[in-house]
Amino acid sequence: MSSEQTLILVKPDGVKRGLVGEVIARIERKGYVVTNLKMLTADRTILAKHYAEHEGKPFYEPLMEFMASGPIVAMVAQGERVIEGFRKMAGATDPTVAEAGTIRGDLARDMGTKVVQNIVHGSDSPESAAREIKIFFGN
Ligand code: DAT
Ligand code: MG
């Protein structure tokens, strides 16, 4: 498997809690290289593209609202198998069951909200990564 890129987001909960540095530090300590990075407040247009696969699901509207609720940090990380590697580092979607040692397992918990708040997003496949990097950083 050759070197690849993934799209990572520190979500509004992560930014609000001051965990941007913690997330980047973990990515860098693992040995992945951050090749692009910016802070933005995502609007509905960008979020609708990013989360198109979830349209119509019960948590879709809460997800859109949550993701637009404050600044996020978008970055591209690069390395051999970084897509799989970062998903492993992020841990399970549900922070209550995410393994200790993962970002979500160590830093997030169930907040009783309609949408799960879990600090980070990471692309789940090479196709998603290419699509998502384009959404946040263009070509
Ligand atoms: P992941 O972020 O682990 O790839 P996903 O793509 O299935 O998970 O969902 C996107 C986000 O939506 C996820 O990070 C948290 C939220 N979410 C997913 N499934 C949910 C559910 N059943 N109830 C509430 N929020 C959910
Ligand atoms: Mg996903």
pLDDT in tens, 9-54: 999 999 999 999 999 999 999 999 999 999 999 999 999 999 999 9
Measured at the CA of 47, the angle between CA 113 and CA 63, to 5 degrees, comes to: 10
d(CA 99, CA 92): 7
H or E stretch covering 11: none
Please state, for a pLDDT cut of 70, what percent of the chain lies above it. Answer: 99
- Ligand nearest the Cα atom of residue 86: 1
Distance 69 CA to ligand 1 centre (A): 16
pLDDT at 87: 99
From 61, 69, 93, mutation site for ligand 1 pocket: most ligand atoms within 8 A of C-beta: 93
How many Cα atoms sit within 13 Å of 113 on the Cβ side? 18
Give residue limits of the domains in the chain: 4-137
Fold (topology level) of 4-137? Alpha-Beta Plaits (3.30.70)
pLDDT in tens, 111-120: 999 999 999 9
- Measured in whole angstroms, the distance separating CA 38 from the mean position of its chain's CA atoms is 13
pLDDT at 2: 73
> Rounded mean pLDDT of the chain?
97
Nearest CA among 21, 36, 4 for reference residue 136: 36
d(CA 129, CA 135): 10
d(CA 121, CA 86): 9
- Ligand nearest the Cα atom of residue 58: 1
pLDDT at 1: 54
pLDDT in tens, 48-107: 999 999 999 999 999 999 999 999 999 999 999 999 999 999 999 999 999 999 999 999
